[in-house]
Amino acid sequence: MFRLHQLKLLATLAGIACTAAAAPEDRSLPGEMWWYWDRPAAQLPLPAPGVGAAVVTTHIVLSGESFARQPRRSALHLPDGVATMPVIHVEVDPAHPFAGNAAQIEALRNAVVDVARRGDPSAWVQLDFEARKSQREFWRSAVQAIRSALPTGVKFSVTALASWCYGDRWLGDVPVDEVVPMYFRLGRTRPDYVLRSAVGVSEPRCAQAYGIADDEPPWPVVFSGRRYVFLGRHARRTSHNLNQEPAP
């Protein structure tokens, strides 16, 4: 009972302290982005007016000492004028001991840079890699290699587990333009992170953006920065089929 009362009190105080989410300083992307994971396009909604799209375009699978690069499987056609960000999603095959070798770093770097070069030279690119503790050195090396190889003007975003932004902080010096902590799929730890976030985000690098899911209860703490919305398993269907080619 006391913990529930404490949770409500902290969330209320946070709402008073942050009456509105501040717009991000960088205006090259909208203040809200929807994550378009690699799911059948007919299950995904069109972006709301003024909302951008962070689209998974490439999968990188790291397995043992090898790697595989796979393009998006489900074709996605967005309306003209929607601001987009390509997302490179990384998975580590748990069936084989992860080597984290130079060839895998090079493959990941090349995948991100190739996607960035195909887009707007002043645009963004995002890396989604939920690295385990044993994979952090590899993650850091890969991020540094990507940052060094990205074309001038391209901004670099990375997703982050919520734990990386509080007690388990290790992102302070990473060479990226944006860190997006993911406040969803937290399970039993969700109440703890609500409490922590109501007090304030411990890692300053994690206070410029945040991610939530549209199939979970609203996060009771108001954050500042750019908002990313994960379109969950029960994503809203739309009468506008994204499989259709855009009108000429």
DSSP 220: S
CA dist., res. 37 & res. 184, Å (int): 15
What distances in angstroms separate CA 19 from CA 7, 175, 182, 217, one per listed residue? Answer: 18, 31, 21, 19
Quick count: other Cβ atoms within 10 Å of Cβ 22? 13
- Torsion angle (degrees, nearest 10) of CA 93, 135, 60, 104: -100
Is 243 within the bounds of a domain? Answer: no
Classify residue 21: in a domain, yes or no.
no
pLDDT of the residue at 4: 44
Residue at 242 is within a domain:
no
What is the CATH number for 169?
Answer: 3.20.20.80
Q: Note the pLDDT of residue 247.
A: 34
Q: What is the pLDDT of residue 122?
A: 66
* Residue 40 included in any domain: yes
Report the interhelical angle of 2-17 vs 190-199 (nearest 10°). 40
Residue 168: inside a domain: yes
> Into how many domains does the chain fold?
1
Per-residue DSSP letter, 15: H
Residue 179 lies in a domain: yes
C-alpha distances (whole Å) from 219 to each of 74, 168, 186, 212, 227 are 30, 21, 12, 7, 12
Could you tell me if residue 117 is inside a domain? yes
pLDDT of res. 25: 54
Give residue-wise pLDDT tens across range 189-239: 999 999 999 999 999 999 999 999 999 999 999 999 999 999 986 555 443
Specify the pTM.
Answer: 0.84
Cα–Cα distance for residue pair 169/89, rounded to 1 Å: 22
Residue 133, pLDDT score: 93
The amino acid occupying position 135 is Q
List the domain range (segments joined by +) for residue 100. 28-230
For each of the chain's 248 residues, which pLDDT tens digit applies?
Answer: 434 444 444 444 344 333 333 334 566 799 999 999 998 888 899 999 999 999 999 999 999 999 999 999 988 989 999 999 999 999 999 999 999 999 999 999 999 999 999 877 669 999 999 999 999 999 999 999 999 999 999 999 999 999 999 988 798 889 999 999 999 999 999 999 999 999 999 999 999 999 999 999 999 999 999 999 999 865 554 434 343 333 33
CA dihedral (78, 80, 83, 88) positive or negative: positive
- Determine the pLDDT at residue 27: 62
Is there a contact between 25 and 6 (Cβ–Cβ < 8 Å)? no
Residue 13 inside a domain? The answer is no
